[in-house]
Each structure stands twice: as structure tokens, then as C-alpha cells.
């Protein structure tokens, strides 16, 4: 049986290339790419991007990504099941380090690279003359849908994203958060994300050679080297996600559409047994937003994730909640 720590690590790995929604809900299974926003506090949400990996038009890159992920997971599970004292301590340290990774990084990593995916075009807005102008290899036809490579959109001056492209939806509960709040949070992530993750990518790549002497020790695996390589991989993907997010937010987020989730979110959040959180929910109902406070109780995180069609994100949601609690309790 796979332990919770393995599950958490698995989610960290898989979040680097967003997973397709594993749920069968009619409202979501037909959407090729979307973002979901789950409120943690009255001012901050856990936001994640889900997309169908079939959207990637670069199959070779997808295969390499999948093989690398499988290799890392195999190595981690082997290390975690080891009985050697040194490996037990290593696993403990790695899990502690993983739990400290800021949850906003997960959003950026979950957004696919702009160079890898395609976007659906509105057939109703396309006439034959316009289709002819959009020539060569930029257009792809699949399942009676007309698709364009995301990276090629800017090459066409007469292509209006707000008119010709199907927008990417962001689902959120309007009873707890607002479109403006989520929009601002995304802007903050996009603005700071690229430079921050580029800096840490360089640091990780710089220190990897320092760990190479550990390869000469047969008993102890070069965990520092593997960890630095893993974090470099994370930062690279977060950097690419940040770049793509900046593109989606251009011209007042013309590529995105904010959609309210039709469920009584406050009732689900209100099932918590945490008295402080219940008091905070009452504050929210009265419109008190003078300071930031927690709205999600850990005991209802599973129910909330299920209601938001994000059961595969429970572990990550709890990590994000823990980080916000620690931040607000300082």
C-alpha cells in the first residue's frame, strides 16, 4: 500500500505536467483545459490548472516527460521502502523539504508550456477566407474541431483572441471569492514568477556539480544531486507556466473567462469542527475583510476537493492550507 508521503510526492511530480481530470462529471470532462480556484482564506485561493495531455502537439516532448516522471517515481518509492537508517533519514529530510515548497509554485507548474499546446477556435466565427489566411502548419483539425498552436497566435494580426478563440475557463465560488480577487492573485503570480524561478533554476544547476563526488560513495545515493535536479526541473516548468500565464492575462485576461461554480460553498466549508474557522466564516458573511483569515478547515478539505471536482488535489490542498496557517500565525 502506498503511504501518504508517497502520494504527496507523486502529486508533486505529476503536477509538473498537469493531469487530465480523472473525474467523470459531465460539466468538466469535455473541457480540454481549465483552471479551478479553491478558497483558502478570505483573500487567497489555491488555484490549479487541469488540461488534457492530448492537447500537446509535441508528442516526443510528452513521451520524454512521462518516462522521466516514471523514473523519478520508481527511484523515490525504492528509497522510501529502504530500511537503511541513512535512507530513512534522507526520506524524512526530503519530505520536509517538499512540504515547504510554496503552493503558488504548483499553479505555475500545472500550466502547460505555451509552446506545447493548441487552442480551440470558434468555428462559427471562421469563414473560408479567414481559414485560408490562417495557413500552413499552424492549424490542426481534430474531432471536427479547428485548433491552432498557442505559440502561433501572435503571428496573425487579424486574429482576435476574444472573438476567434474558445476562452479558458476559471471556475470559482462567488459566495467566497470574487473574479477581481482571483484575477489579482494570478497577476501577482505571473509578475513575480518568471524572474523568481529563473533565479532558483540557475542556483540549482550551479550546485548540482558540487554533489557529484557523492556518486563515488556506493552505499549513500546522491540524493542532494537528485533533489537539486528535481528542483531545477520544477523551476523550469514553473518558469514556463509563468510565461504562459502572463500571455493569458494580456489585455485584461482576454484569453480567460471567469465562471461561477453553482454550489453552496459556504455550506460545505461550514461543516468543519474547527471553531476558529467557523467564526471566520461568520466574519465573511458579515462582509468583514479588514484582515486575512482562514476559511477552510482541514477536516473538510476532502469534501471541498470533491465538490470542486478536484479529488486528486487533496494532498496539495492540505499542504497549501498548512502553509497559509503558518503564515498567518506568525
φ, ψ dihedrals at 234, nearest 5°: -60, -50
Rounded distance, CA 135 to CA 128, Å? 11
Task: Name which of 74-78, 103-107, 134-138, 174-178 the model is least confident about.
Answer: 134-138
Task: Name which of 57-66, 72-81, 203-212 the model is least confident about.
Answer: 57-66
Parse the chain into domains and list their residue ranges.
Answer: 4-52+97-117+169-192+238-328
Q: Which residues contact 186 (CB under 8 A, 6 or more apart)?
A: 47, 245, 249, 253
φ, ψ dihedrals at 181, nearest 5°: -65, -45
pLDDT at 9 over 60: no
Q: What is the pLDDT confidence band of residue 82, given thresholds at 50, 70 and 90?
A: confident
pLDDT at 274 over 60: yes
Give the 3-state secondary structure of residue 110: helix
Look at the chain and count its residues. 330
pLDDT at 244 over 90: yes
Please give the mean pLDDT across all residues of the chain.
81
Rounded distance, CA 234 to CA 81, Å? 24
Per-residue pLDDT at 135: 55
φ, ψ dihedrals at 246, nearest 5°: -60, -40
C-alpha cell at 301: 478539505
Using the 8-state DSSP alphabet, how is residue 117 labeled? B
Residues 88-114 have a mean pLDDT of: 89
C-alpha cell at 16: 509538473
Whether the CB-CB separation of 304 and 296 falls below 8 Å is answered with yes
Amino acid at each position: 500500500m502506498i503511504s501518504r508521503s508517497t502520494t504527496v510526492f507523486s502529486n508533486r511530480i505529476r503536477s509538473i505536467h498537469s493531469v487530465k481530470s480523472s473525474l467523470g462529471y459531465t460539466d468538466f470532462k469535455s473541457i480540454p483545459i481549465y483552471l479551478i480556484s479553491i478558497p483558502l482564506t478570505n483573500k487567497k485561493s489555491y488555484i490549479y490548472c487541469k488540461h488534457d495531455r492530448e492537447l500537446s502537439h509535441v508528442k516526443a516532448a510528452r513521451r520524454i516527460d512521462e518516462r522521466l516522471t516514471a523514473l523519478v517515481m520508481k527511484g523515490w518509492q525504492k528509497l522510501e521502502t529502504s530500511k537503511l537508517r541513512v535512507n530513512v533519514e534522507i526520506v524524512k529530510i526530503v519530505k520536509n523539504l517538499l512540504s515547504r515548497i510554496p503552493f503558488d509554485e504548483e499553479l505555475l507548474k500545472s500550466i502547460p508550456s505555451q509552446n506545447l499546446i493548441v487552442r480551440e477556435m470558434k468555428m462559427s466565427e471562421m469563414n473560408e477566407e479567414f481559414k485560408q489566411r490562417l495557413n500552413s502548419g499552424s492549424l490542426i483539425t481534430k474531432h471536427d474541431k479547428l485548433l491552432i498552436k498557442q505559440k502561433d497566435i501572435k503571428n496573425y494580426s487579424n486574429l482576435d483572441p476574444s472573438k476567434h478563440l474558445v476562452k479558458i475557463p476559471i471556475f470559482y465560488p462567488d459566495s467566497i471569492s470574487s473574479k477581481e480577487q482571483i484575477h489579482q492573485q494570478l497577476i501577482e503570480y505571473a509578475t513575480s514568477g518568471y524572474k523568481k524561478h529563473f533565479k532558483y533554476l540557475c542556483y540549482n544547476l550551479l550546485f548540482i556539480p558540487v554533489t557529484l563526488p557523492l556518486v563515488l560513495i556506493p552505499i549513500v545515493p546522491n540524493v542532494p544531486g537528485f533533489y537539486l535536479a528535481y528542483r531545477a526541473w520544477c523551476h523550469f516548468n514553473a518558469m514556463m507556466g509563468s510565461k504562459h500565464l502572463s500571455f493569458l492575462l494580456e489585455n485584461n485576461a482576454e484569453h480567460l473567462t471567469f465562471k461561477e461554480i453553482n454550489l453552496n460553498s459556504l455550506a460545505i466549508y461550514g461543516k468543519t469542527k474547527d471553531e476558529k474557522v467557523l467564526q471566520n466564516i461568520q466574519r465573511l458573511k458579515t462582509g468583514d475583510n479588514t484582515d486575512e483569515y482562514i476559511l477552510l478547515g482541514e477536516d473538510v478539505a476532502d469534501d471541498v476537493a470533491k465538490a470542486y471536482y478536484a479529488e486528486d488535489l487533496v494532498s496539495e490542498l492540505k499542504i497549501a492550507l498548512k502553509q497559509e496557517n503558518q503564515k498567518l500565525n506568525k
